[in-house]
A and B are shown apart, each in its own frame.
Chain A
């Protein structure tokens, strides 16, 4: 089947894109660890959804892009793997607490500690280990500042881009609130689809670039992953599509990982609950 056979719902320009536009960088290095070295292998711990059930589940899929917090723009820095990692973490957060509590995380707050410079790029697993062990800082946005203030947390924020930014004193204290302790190492395309359908959005790499999948679509008998990119408004409002063959050819070399979800941020749960209690649920929600 050629790309021209696809329905108009997917613009063929945004399928299996392997070259970055001149204005943006990529920056995902191939994995240096073996499958299962740092995180449990999904296929060994969870039952995958059989292919025979996929189509019904895809048809019943809600519009999962709703919980994507933000499409980011990495500019000319090689931070794609940090963008995808923090993006996937943001999705878990929004699912647990609601989008009204969305806190955008700064990719550079992760990347800065695992890469020697802004151009070098990073592996996905290095990003995951950093966000597992240390955490990330909120991005410097008015909305983030407002939420941190409401929750009586220190306003220690950092911009999304700018490798040489100065970090606030004692930034690690706040970063611990934004850790993601558990991830799964995914070995197959079927594992990726299973996780996407279960609302655990996988971070993956291919062709030197990392993104995270948010939805499964099927066109003319072929399965595609709709992913959130970090090139601003590039593609279909920030999204692109990867075919099964494109992903399968790269998944072993770059890796695919999904948050195990659920056990994040009990301290934040308490703070949000406290705020709601103090305001007796009467305060209007924060809208982005």
Chain B
């Protein structure tokens, strides 16, 4: 242990004389952001376009073969410009393109709606669907104005508003359930839905 401490002390002393101070060290990513990386076997120029066509300024390695950059979740277009020389001495630029998705492919949760708007979600266990319930779902879809505001999803769907409804379902309810959902994705009203309830119950939830 003593010899390790001595080594560290000596290293610090050498860095203090010959290297930049600690405050000049740069690390990525900064808090809450995601790190992207790209590499090429040959040195090249780099161009990175972020979500919504934003320009991203990457950190390029000294040998020009790799870059790191940071950003939010989304798709990034990475273009590597490889410069080659033809036999006659003329340079040509050969671009390589790749799309890198940071943070998975799920787009961000939508922004909230103005107060007053609401929509209907029917959550079901698809494996338990009965023929009668299937007929009700088709009947909903056959009414364009209703169809527009109703979404039918499996209870295992990984959407945030689905999770909120699952939490809010009172004990003893069985699937399928019908819920009216606010602009912010908050459940307003939840009830079990039976095939015999018919389309009237769905309409009632929109009132």
Q: How far is the CA of A57 from the CA of B101 in the complex (A)?
A: 47
> Which residues on A sit within 8 Å (CB–CB) of B168?
none
Q: A177 to chain B: which residues have CB within 8 Å?
A: 105
* Identity of the chain B residue whose Cβ is nearest the Cβ of A94 in the assembled complex: B141
Set of chain A residues within 8 Å of B134, measured between Cβ atoms: 197-199
Residues from chain B with Cβ under 8 Å of A273 in the complex: 110, 119, 151, 161
User: Quick check: is B33 within 8 A (CB to CB) of the other chain?
Assistant: no
How many inter-chain residue pairs (CB < 8 Å) link A and B? 123
- Pick the residue among A49, A66, A169, A262 that contacts B154 (CB under 8 A): A262
Selected from B124, B150, B161, the residue in CB contact (under 8 A) with A98 is: B150
- A266–B106 contact, CB under 8 A? yes
Smallest CB gap from B183: residue in A: A277
User: Bound state CA distance, A281 and B141, in angstroms?
Assistant: 17
- A274: chain B residues at CB < 8 Å are 107, 110-111
Q: B residues 127-163 with Cβ under 8 Å of A?
A: 127, 129-132, 134-135, 137-139, 141-142, 144, 147-154, 156-159, 161
In the complex, the chain A residue whose C-beta lies closest to that of B127 is A46
The listed residue (A64, A169, A260, A261) touching B97 by CB distance below 8 A is A169
Q: Which residues of B contact A (CB under 8 A)?
A: 75, 97-99, 101, 105-107, 109-114, 117, 119, 124-127, 129-132, 134-135, 137-139, 141-142, 144, 147-154, 156-159, 161, 183
13 extra A-B contacts, CB within 8 A, seeds A62-B138, A274-B110: A170-B98, A198-B134, A200-B129, A261-B126, A262-B126, A267-B106, A269-B159, A270-B107, A272-B151, A273-B161, A274-B107, A274-B111, A276-B119
> What residues of chain A have their CB less than 8 Å away from a CB belonging to chain B?
45-46, 49, 57, 60-64, 66-67, 94-100, 169-170, 173, 176-177, 194, 197-200, 260-263, 266-267, 269-274, 276-278, 280-281, 285
